Chain A
Amino acid sequence: MSEKKQQVSRRQFLNYTLTGVGGFMAAGMLVPMLRMAVDPVLQPSASGDYANIGLSVDDITTEPQRVDWKIDQVDGWYESEVSKSAWVYKDDNDDIIALSPICTHLGCVVSWEGSDQHPNEFFCPCHDGRYEKDGTNIPGTPPLEPLHRYTQKVENGMLFLGDAKPREEA
């Protein structure tokens, strides 16, 4: 054993050891609890983000215009830049409406006045789905719900769009 005189008595040594082990066990129980309490604050709110779509509020007219922008999207395996688009216009009350061009039937892209026989309507080329200017689906056509609307906000005169939500939730 060591030549040096043992400074610490057996009782003290045992005390230190027990305190240490007790401390580890306490930490082992407390840290997960703390982490669970703090975690929600640390989550990056990816779905709550609004993206600047590069359209000034002054440029928005009562005629729907198409805007395209890109956002970063992360899923389980890939991080990718996804292209999104919207039809934006001002309605009669001067409210800004941003509609998602994804057909609510099976997902094709609809276009404003895409069909010459149906002016003033959104038209889906896949199965002849049609929607009114405000996104309501026209009965008798395949879509069963209106076009989704984007959550929006205006900052410094520029339009920001978030995620597209079904009409009742928006």
Chain B
Amino acid sequence: MKWVSQDLKRYTQAKEYVDTIIMPLIPFQIAPDEDANKKAIQNESLSIISNEIEKELSGRVMLLPNYYYIKSAEKDSEITRLNVLSAELSKQPFTHTFFITFDMDWKRYEKDLDSHLLWFPSVQSEDLESKEVVSIIRDQVLQICELIRSYW
């Protein structure tokens, strides 16, 4: 399910079945140009991956909107914000919360976060439509789904 009105109607009927939250953490960067380009590609590919995960596990997972933060800023304030979110989510019957990201900086702060962090490497290619990239992404999606299922 996504955080859109059409799905939320179904969600309110079936709250006890939807117990998992997924939120992509995406760094924003506008300068220097090359890094900004890379980050923009990662933004697209992580959005695609999280949408595919939502399609696979639609009835048990709620995909939250992307969480953007400034790459160069200190992580501490972000951690505080994310923990506030985790606290809010745990008031609803969500037993599992996953943050997914390509940004490896989060791995260092993993223990400060109240929810599970899933980091995985990004596909470096610019062409997200090519057959190879599509199949790599498809594999990643299936592996992440397996990982999520192992927590259930």
A residues lining the B interface (CB < 8 Å):
103, 105-109, 124-127, 142
B145-A125 in contact (CB<8A): yes
Complex contacts, A108 vs chain B, CB 8 Å: 56-60
A106-B17 in contact (CB<8A): yes
Which bracket fits the contact residues of B? 10 to 19
Q: A106-B14, A109-B56 are in contact. List 10 more A-B contacts (CB 8 A).
A: A106-B18, A106-B59, A107-B58, A109-B58, A125-B57, A125-B145, A125-B149, A126-B59, A126-B60, A127-B17
B145-A106 in contact (CB<8A): no
Kindly list the 5 A-B residue pairs having the minimum CB-CB distance in the complex, ordered from nearest.
Answer: A106-B59, A126-B60, A107-B58, A108-B59, A126-B59
A106-B56 in contact (CB<8A): no
* Nearest A-chain residue to B56, judged by Cβ: A109
Does B38 belong to the interface (CB within 8 Å)?
Answer: no
B56-A127 in contact (CB<8A): no
**Closest-CB distance, A132 to chain B (whole angstroms):** 20
**Closest-CB distance, A1 to chain B (whole angstroms):** 67
- The answer for the CA separation of A126 and B58 in the assembled complex, in Å, is 8
Task: Give B40-77 as 1s and 0s: 1 = Cβ < 8 Å from A's Cβ atoms.
Answer: 00000000000000011111110000000000000000
Does B107 belong to the interface (CB within 8 Å)?
Answer: no
* In-complex Cβ contact of B55 among A109, A124, A125, A142 (8 A): A109
Does B116 belong to the interface (CB within 8 Å)?
Answer: no
Please list 18 pairs of residues, one from A and one from B, whose beta carbons are closer than 8 Å in the complex, sorted by A's number: A105-B17, A106-B1, A106-B17, A106-B18, A108-B56, A108-B58, A108-B59, A108-B60, A124-B59, A125-B145, A126-B17, A126-B57, A126-B59, A126-B60, A126-B61, A127-B59, A127-B60, A142-B17
